[in-house]
Amino acid sequence: MPRLAPRGSPRAGTRGAVSSFAPRARAGGNRSGAPPRATPRRAAHAEQPSPAAHAQRPASGRTRTGPVRKEPPNVGATTYISDGYGYYEGECTSFAAWAVRNDGLADSSSPNFLGNANSWHAAVTESTPHVGDVAQWDANHNGAGSTGHVAYVSAVYTNGTIQVEEYNWLSAANNYTGHRYNTRQITASTPSRYLKF
């Protein structure tokens, strides 16, 4: 896989996708001391929130405030464009970090610039999933490749299954094409662990 272009190069920070809602503002304001402002972004087409968009995080009562699904990036199955946060558009890491940054839930650590999926770490590592967590697969574990896999937990069900939203998991749903969105319902024991940011 090619390396990310250094900051300042023509490809660094190229944005291929547009989110369907504004990023959440962080506490503490900006460098000038003014309160943070979220700049709205327009999607190519309006998307209705899925039922999972309103699922609650049982342990803390946290609720997502917007849809997670990111519009497909403007990258091909073998094209690599930096997302500006340390990942390539269309990769599982780029999508999971984007989902954590934009889900409306408070975070205590950043999902940016963490490397390959199998090297991710967070403020809290859990064995029990919650909405808003990142499901992490170790390398070559339960279908993950040699660099692992991460996916965003969008729903937790009482029957022991969870719904994850992800990119770059090859399945019939995305015609076995890389750099594409996928959602699936899996048993909670399928990933190696859960990361709470």
User: How many angstroms separate the Cα of 39 from the Cα of each of 17, 22, 107, 158?
Assistant: 15, 6, 20, 37
pLDDT in tens, 152-166: 999 999 999 999 999
pLDDT recorded at residue 5 = 39
pLDDT band at 70 (very low <50, low <70, confident <90, very high): low
pLDDT recorded at residue 174 = 83
Identity of the highest mean pLDDT range in 3-7, 77-81, 157-161: 157-161
Across 38-52, 62-76, 78-92, 116-130, least confident range: 38-52
What integer is the mean pLDDT of 118-139?
A: 96
Q: Does domain 81-196 have CATH number 3.90.1720.10?
A: yes
**Residue 104, token pair as written in the block:** 């409306």
pLDDT recorded at residue 142 = 96
Q: Please name the amino acid found at residue 108.
A: S
pLDDT recorded at residue 55 = 40
